[in-house]
Amino acid sequence: MATAAPAQGTPHLAVENKGLLTLAIMGAAMIQILDSTIANVAIPHMQTSLGATQDSVTWVLTSYIVAGAVVMPMTGWLADRVGSRRLFILSTIGFIITSMLCGISVNLTEMVFFRILQGVCAAFMAPLSQSILLDINRPEGAPKAMAMWGMGVMVAPIFGPMIGGWLTESYNWRWVFYINLPIGIPTVAILLWLLPSRPINKRYFDGLGFAALALGVATLQLMLDRGQHEDWFESWEIRVEAIIAISALWIFFIHQATTKKPMFDPELVTDRNFATSLLFMVMIGIMMFGVFALLPPMLQTLFGYTVFDTGMLLAPRGIGILVAMQIATRLAGKVDARITVGVGFIITIASLWEMTQWGLMMDWKPVFYTGLLQGFGMGFVFIPMNQLAFATLSMKHRTDGSSLLYLVRSIGSSIGISIMTTLFTRNMQTSHEDIASNVTSSSMAVVDPSTSDRLQGLGEAALATLNGEVTRQAAMIAYLDNFQFMMILLVAFMPLILLLKPPKGPPGAPVHPAGE
């Protein structure tokens, strides 16, 4: 049953030790988010250990993503049905157990099966952690709570590969899963002790809506994850997945608009702030994970940095996010959140423009300060965007809202990675052809390509070296083209800020009472 709105200045759910409970909630959220990227760097080691092929081992990542996407839309219904406390604790315990099982897997079949279970548990943890933090804090403390939650959401994926690389090199790949246990076990103990629960509300379950959405999102994620590997629509697999995704999502939207008891309350999609925030979350996912998919391979292949050094160069992005979130939290209620979001986008666009000026002769400094600037911009966007998303939404829709926001950000990250990977591959091929077409005897002062076959082996070595340099230059051009594309995309999205309405009343306070 929906509860009455809390009095002004009081949290929706009272707790004995809010600080300790917040620490536990963030611990659960961070191990879940960390696992979305920490395993990536260990894939080559897993392939050898599990006896998998290069193609099949990618299912370790794909299974986790798809499983989470399938069940995440049910978070709100399940939280109402069994209680938010029970669902959060059970999913955290399940995540810890499946992490241990992933670590002891002896073949690929076991690993993929346990990763599916881990993805199911993880799907409930992120949106619930956000809605619970909103529930246990006073309305005026919502920006600070979202800043703390946002730090984990934004920073954990950045530090994940660095931690994963260090664990893999220092110990072995199994520790990228075992690391969840020392954090997760005390977290569960605190949750059992302190975590309150919303009242149970046995609301109707829209089976058709869930089935259509789950099928559509799962096949969309699968298509995005495998598209580049299968050469997109040249493959029948990708064509079939696209048809299923479009058909299932079309059924879901039509059903959502016409049924009397839809899966999501119409207020979620008719609320202008929340609907606009969904679009921005897609953009944040595209931007954050798209760029992040490009930087590690660029730094390692073109500049020769190790996995750990690459992680250290990406760390300033996380520092910038942390600093900006602290500033954005202090500005909440004093400065229009839309202005803060706009400033954040301008800073991020400026950082991407700086990245389009990079070159193969640069040292580590441009990567360092550009990452710091970009993190600062993204931190300015994330906190006020969450504030605006929930500013006009009823409290009873918080869990559904959190799950939708997190789902679209996850889809956005998949879209971003797919777009950036595809553009990079195709831009690199085009650039390689353009550069190679200009390598002629008149442009070569040392080696004449037309007579290289007469140099008894030395010519072949010279041509291989030359081709390597052409490939290197083409790759750098492709990276710069991608950074430019991302910058243009952000500029195109910026006018959507005008659709947002500023929150009324104290920061974080919803316009509608919880019982509406």
Nearest-angstrom CA–CA distance, 294 and 479: 7
What pLDDT does residue 10 have? 73
> Residue 449 and residue 467: Cα distance in Å, rounded?
11
492 C-beta neighbours (distance < 10 Å), count: 10
CA 438 → CA 50, 427, 449, 474, 503, distances in Å? 46, 17, 11, 13, 58
- At residue 55, the pLDDT reads 65
Dist CA 156 CA 25 (whole Å): 14
Class of domain 266-417+482-504: mainly alpha
Considering 180-189, 210-219, 396-405, the range whose residues carry the highest mean pLDDT is 180-189
Category of 232 on φ-ψ map: left (φ > 0), alpha (ψ -120 to 50) or beta = left
**Cα 169 from Cα 161, distance rounded (Å):** 12
| Confidence band for 443, pLDDT divided at 50, 70 and 90 | low
Question: DSSP letter at 205?
Answer: P
Counting Cα atoms < 13 Å in the Cβ hemisphere of 446 gives 6
Q: Give the pLDDT score at 53.
A: 73
Given this model, what pLDDT does residue 488 score?
92
Provide the whole-model pTM.
Answer: 0.76
pLDDT in the model for residue 78 = 86
pLDDT tens, residue by residue, 127-141: 888 888 878 877 767
Residue 430: pLDDT band with limits 50, 70, 90: confident
What letters, b where the CB count within 10 A reaches 16 and e where it falls short, cover 103-122?
bebeebeebbebbbbbbbbb
- Number of other residues whose CB lies within 10 A of the CB of residue 67: 22
Summarize the confidence of residues 10-28 as an average pLDDT.
81
Helix or strand (DSSP H, E) at 144: helix 142-170
Select from 24, 23, 26, 22 the least CA-distant residue to 11: 22
Condensed to tens digits (0 to 9), the pLDDT of residues 30-68 reads 888 777 777 777 777 787 788 777 667 777 877 887 788
The CA distance from 405 to 127, in Å, is 8
SS3 335: strand
Which tens digits make up the pLDDT trace of 364-388?
889 999 989 998 898 888 778 877 8
- Decide: 137 and 9 in contact? Cβ < 8 Å: no
Q: What distance in Å separates the CA atoms of residue 466 and residue 460, rounded to the nearest whole number?
A: 10
Distance CA 462, CA 250 (A): 56
Over residues 215-222, the mean pLDDT reads 85
- Tokens representing 341? 């979001």
**Which DSSP string do the residues of 77-120 spell out, in sequence order?**
HHHHHH-HHHHHHHHHHHHHHHHHHHHT--SHHHHHHHHHHHHH
Say if 1-206 and 266-417+482-504 have the same CATH topology.
yes
Residue 460: pLDDT band (50, 70, 90) is: low
- What lies within 8 Å, CB to CB, of 480 at 6+ separation is 355, 356, 358
506 or 444: which carries more pLDDT confidence? 444
Reply yes or no on whether the pLDDT at 317 is more than 70.
Answer: yes
Higher pLDDT, 5 or 454: 454
pLDDT per residue as tens digits for the range 258-284: 888 887 777 777 778 888 888 888 888
Task: Provide the pLDDT confidence category of residue 7 given band limits of 50, 70 and 90.
Answer: very low
Domain spans, the chain: 1-206, 266-417+482-504, 428-476
Q: CA-CA distance, 334 to 322, in Å (whole number)?
A: 20
> Amino acid letter at 273?
N
Which phi-psi region, left, alpha or beta, contains residue 456 (left: φ > 0; alpha: ψ -120 to 50)? Answer: left
Percent of residues, the chain, with pLDDT higher than 90: 11
CA gap 120, 126 in Å, rounded:
11
What is the mean pLDDT of the segment spanning 169-188?
Answer: 88
Distance CA 485, CA 492 (A): 11
Q: What would the two tokens of residue 126 be?
A: 């992120």
Give the contacts of 1 (CB within 8 A, at least 6 positions apart).
Answer: 199, 201
Q: Distance between CA atoms of 513 and 516, rounded to whole angstroms? A: 6
* 263's tokens: 């899966």
Average pLDDT, the chain: 80
In CATH terms, is domain 1-206 a member of 1.20.1640.10?
no
First to last CA, the chain: 11
What letter would DSSP give residue 337? H
Confidence of residue 188 (pLDDT cuts 50, 70, 90): very high
Taking alpha carbons only, the member of 217, 231, 143 closest to residue 429 is: 231
3-state SS class at 17: coil
Predicted pLDDT at 466: 74
Instruction: For residues 439 and 434, give the distance between their C-alpha atoms in angstroms, rounded to a whole number.
Output: 9
Question: Tokens 């990542």 label which residue?
Answer: 61
Amino acid 68: pLDDT: 82
Question: Per residue in 390-415, pLDDT tens?
Answer: 777 777 777 778 788 878 887 887 78
Cα distance between residue 99 and residue 118, in whole Å: 7
Angle at 294 between CA 289 and CA 296, to 5 degrees: 100
Instruction: Write the single-letter amino acid at 205.
Output: F
- Whole-number CA gyration radius for the chain: 24
In the DSSP assignment, the letter for residue 516 is -
* pLDDT grade for 507, boundaries at 50, 70 and 90: very low
